[in-house]
């Protein structure tokens, strides 16, 4: 057993584990944590050890690096290889394999690609390098879209002409709906995203309770937050309820951040559809820049290959992202696909289930239970 | 936290200082903020679970 010292209150963890076991009873439950950050915490702190055998966690597609399809990454590389361009990106994207290698490989071949921690860093680069065109490779859910939008507003206010955004922001609600509509999964409840909810609030999740009759509890990122959220889900089920609850009240309100949503709406609009790794094409699931910001839209400023590229045959990221496969069930997990030699995105991103499991949780109770299974 | 011009602030994170945007929150000195990609999206109360 792995009671990790990061637990701030051991007694509280034990109490929650006992409460969970009591309310879970005998039937089996499958609970999905949507957010990659939650997956990371779950593996890092061995949270599954604190759950009874009949409660299983299913990992969802809330990893924005993981869900970007290969074709879009190839487009980013095509932009980077244009004359005079500096492509800026979060570090997590640098090692995701594209059709002709990763951003890091393209950089090694001579493209000017730089890691930034925020789009403001990219804006500063544009201010300091008027002779170059700086493109920001924007990724993330509603959590990071506000920062991209604020940066675009700043760029426009300053009249910058050498800055644009390659927008790959995705939205969480259509992905949750796609999961609920998937015939491959039977889920009993959801641990709802934490940071996305600071922007969108709790109301958008009401369809999960009302239309699909599943509990959804927005959770924080401490291990105890997640355990408490799981307890709240099971308690709802035991009491015959299906509601949206908020465990993360210290950061999330029911209304979210209306100012952030207002600027998002001012600068961006939903795409008709967007291709997600693993989930296929989902309607209204991603954002693009409005026409009024065309001068700052890399998709309008550059001509992109725009080719739909299938994952390599060995790669099973799609199934891991849908929650159908656990990381260790992927045929290449830990052998051909490792953090040093990734085949797919789930092994690269800090929020990817495979990377989290590889780095932290390689001996979970499931593997211990089925120790007759050949090791991966 | 030190409030700067243009809706920016100098904050402390993990013992280091950073410049972030506080355009989308009502923040004052002493507040704890949730920041993603350099943009604060919410104020955070202290967790009963953490130190």
Helices (H) and strands (E) in chain A, counts: 16, 13
Nearest CB neighbour to B42, from listed A119, A144, A257: A257
Q: Which residue of A has its CA nearest to B40?
A: A147
Residue pLDDT, tens place only, A324-353 = 999 999 999 999 999 999 999 999 998 899
- The answer to whether residue A123 scores a pLDDT higher than 80 is yes
DSSP string, A49-92: GGS-TTEEEEEEEE-HHHHS-HHHHHHHHHHHTSTTEEEEE-GG
Question: Kind and range of the H or E element at A305?
Answer: none
Half-sphere exposure for A131 (CA within 13 Å, toward CB): 0
pTM: 0.92
C-beta of residue B19 within 8 angstroms of C-beta of residue B10: yes
Give me the pLDDT at residue A366, please. 55
The confidence score (pLDDT) of residue A49 equals 86
B47: DSSP letter: P
- Give mean pLDDT, residues A70-93: 96
C-alpha–C-alpha distance, residues A348 and A51, integer Å: 27
Furthest C-alpha separation in chain B: 35
From the list A199, A225, A249, the residue facing B41 with the nearest CB is A199
- DSSP characters for A93-137? GTT--BBTB-HHHHHHTT--EEE-SSHHHHHHHHHH-TTSEEEEE
> What angle, 0 to 180 degrees and rounded to 10, lies between the N-to-C axes of helices A223-238 and A36-44?
110
Q: What residues in B contact A144, CB-CB < 8 Å?
A: 36-37, 39
Task: Tell me what percent of the residues of chain A surpass a pLDDT of 70.
Answer: 94
Query: Which pLDDT does position A367 carry in this prediction?
Result: 58
d(CA A51, CA A223): 12
Is pLDDT at A288 greater than 50 in this prediction?
yes
């Amino acid at each position: 057993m792995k009671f990790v010292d990061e637990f701030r209150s051991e007694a509280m963890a034990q109490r929650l584990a006992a409460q969970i076991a009591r309310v879970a009873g005998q039937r089996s439950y499958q609970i999905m944590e949507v957010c990659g950050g939650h997956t990371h915490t779950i593996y890092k702190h061995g949270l599954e050890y604190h759950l009874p055998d009949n409660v299983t966690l299913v990992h969802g597609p809330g990893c924005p690096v993981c869900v970007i399809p290969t074709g879009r990454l190839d487009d980013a590389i095509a932009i980077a290889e244009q004359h005079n361009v500096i492509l800026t990106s979060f570090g997590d994207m640098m090692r995701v394999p594209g059709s002709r290698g990763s951003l890091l490989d393209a950089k090694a071949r001579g493209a000017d690609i730089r890691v930034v921690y925020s789009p403001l860093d990219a804006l500063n680069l544009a201010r300091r390098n008027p002779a170059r065109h700086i493109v920001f490779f924007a990724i993330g859910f509603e959590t990071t879209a506000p920062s991209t939008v604020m940066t675009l507003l700043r760029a426009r206010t300053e009249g910058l002409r050498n800055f644009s955004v390659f927008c790959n922001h995705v939205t969480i609600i259509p992905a949750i709906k796609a999961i609920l509509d998937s015939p491959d999964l039977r889920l009993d409840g959801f641990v709802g995203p934490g940071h996305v909810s600071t922007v969108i609030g709790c109301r958008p999740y009401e369809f999960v309770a009302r239309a699909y009759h599943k509990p959804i509890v927005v959770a924080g990122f401490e291990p105890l937050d997640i355990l408490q959220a799981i307890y709240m889900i099971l308690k709802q089920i035991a009491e015959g309820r299906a509601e949206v609850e908020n465990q993360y009240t210290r950061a999330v309100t029911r209304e979210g951040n209306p100012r952030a949503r207002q600027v998002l709406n001012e600068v961006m609009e939903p795409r008709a559809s967007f291709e997600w790794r693993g989930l296929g094409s989902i309607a209204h699931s991603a954002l693009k820049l409005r026409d009024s910001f065309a001068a700052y839209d890399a998709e309008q400023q550059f001509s992109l290959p725009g080719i739909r590229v299938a994952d390599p045959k060995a790669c099973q990221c799609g199934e891991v992202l849908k929650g159908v496969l656990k990381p260790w069930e992927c045929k290449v997990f830990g052998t051909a696909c490792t953090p040093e030699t990734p085949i797919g995105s789930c092994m690269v991103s800090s929020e990817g289930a495979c990377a989290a499991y590889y780095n932290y949780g390689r001996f979970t109770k499931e593997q211990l239970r089925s120790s007759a299974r050949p090791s991966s | 936290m030190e409030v700067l011009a243009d809706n920016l602030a100098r904050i402390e994170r993990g013992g280091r200082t950073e410049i972030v945007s506080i355009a989308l929150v009502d923040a004052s000195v002493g507040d704890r903020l949730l920041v993603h990609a350099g943009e604060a999206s919410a104020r955070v109360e202290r967790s009963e679970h953490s130190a």
